[in-house]
Amino acid sequence: MTATTNAPPARKRSHGDSTAPPGKRRNLGDLKVAMIFIAPATLGFVVFYIWPTLRGAYLSFTEYSLLSAPKFNGLANYERMVQDSFFWNALGVTVEYVVINIGVQTVLAVGIAMLMYRLTKSITVRAIILAPYLVANVVVALVWYWMLDVQVGVVQTFLGWVGIDPVAFFGDSHWAIPTVAGINVWRHMGYTALLVFAGLQTIPKYVYEAAEVDGSTEWKTFWRITLPLLRPVLVMVLVVTMIGSFQIFDTVAVTTQGGPINATRVIYYYIYERAFTRFDFGYASAMALVLFAILAVVSLLQLRLLRAKESDLA
């Protein structure tokens, strides 16, 4: 007498999945797909960001003019920077531009965002507000350069109608950097306003309803509810705007080219002049590295002091 069983025959596993459970096999498959998708971006990041940064850091310790191989000179470029009055002037002009640009742009952006939030949420209005940001910065600078021209500018004509003498917006050292800042405020405030507007939509309506029940005025509600709850968004806006403001270049290059009397020679334009007009790449790399360190420190301070990770809604 022979015994028979109904057990299914053992299935022969393939070579790649002989031991791994199904969940783990799926995770490994997802990882491979993810690696394929992020590989091009990673390659571009390494080639266009990491490698130039490392190369610039190396050149900052050399004397290099393109005509010969880099020659190591230790900290000579950094010692030269400390004694360079043009470097400190460029840094001061840049800080003046950053303060004007961030201050005016943030106030106007918050005001525009509040108006949109209270009056309209029309997509057409948002598109109109964003329109200046879609125009190339060089084009914006050229148009404003012609409009503000002291002899033929249309703005000078309007000033004449109200009895104001022509103003040399780009030729007067007192007006030059506020004018450059004003042009960039005009171009970027719509984009910043939309970021703030998106932040306003994350604030629950019941918070405003409770404030209204308690008899809070519009002004008190703005200062005690809206601004504190907008802090995470405002921190992000301030950090991004600050970094972008320190990198101001194209508007200066198109309109004033650093003049008059170094009044608009910002740090980016000074680095460009040293590198590509005087071929002093070692010194220019040293200034670029110092600017990188300044931006990193200021950004970290902003994130830490403004408590970017915390939200009053939690």
- What is the rounded distance in angstroms from the CA atom of residue 216 to the CA atom of residue 226? 12
Pair of tokens at residue 257: 């080219």
Looking at residue 3, its pLDDT comes to 43
Closest CA to 100 of 206, 183, 42: 183
- The answer to whether 190 and 129 are in contact (CB under 8 A) is yes
Beta carbons within 8 Å of 216's beta carbon, 6+ residues apart: 224, 225
Task: Render pLDDT for 259-291 as a digit per residue (tens, 0 to 9).
Answer: 888 899 999 999 999 999 999 999 999 999 999
Instruction: Please state the separation of Cα 253 from the chain's center in Å.
Output: 19
- What is the rounded distance in angstroms from the CA atom of residue 131 to the CA atom of residue 224? 32
Q: Judging by beta carbons within 10 Å of its beta carbon (0-12, 13-18, 19+), is residue 208 exposed, middle or buried?
A: middle
Task: Render pLDDT for 231-264 as a digit per residue (tens, 0 to 9).
Answer: 888 888 888 899 999 989 999 999 999 888 889 9
- What is the rounded distance in angstroms from the CA atom of residue 147 to the CA atom of residue 29? 59
The one-letter code for the residue type at 191 is: Y
pLDDT exceeds 80 at position 2 = no
Beta carbons within 8 Å of 140's beta carbon, 6+ residues apart: 132, 183, 186, 187, 251
pLDDT exceeds 90 at position 5 = no
pLDDT exceeds 70 at position 312 = no
Query: The pTM is what?
Result: 0.83
Q: Judging by beta carbons within 10 Å of its beta carbon (0-12, 13-18, 19+), is residue 96 exposed, middle or buried?
A: middle
Task: Render pLDDT for 70-121 as a digit per residue (tens, 0 to 9).
Answer: 999 989 999 999 999 999 999 999 999 999 999 999 999 999 999 998 888 7
Q: Is the peptide bond before 232 cis (omega within 30 degrees of 0)?
A: no
Task: Render pLDDT for 157-205 as a digit per residue (tens, 0 to 9).
Answer: 999 999 888 899 999 999 999 999 999 999 999 999 999 999 999 888 8
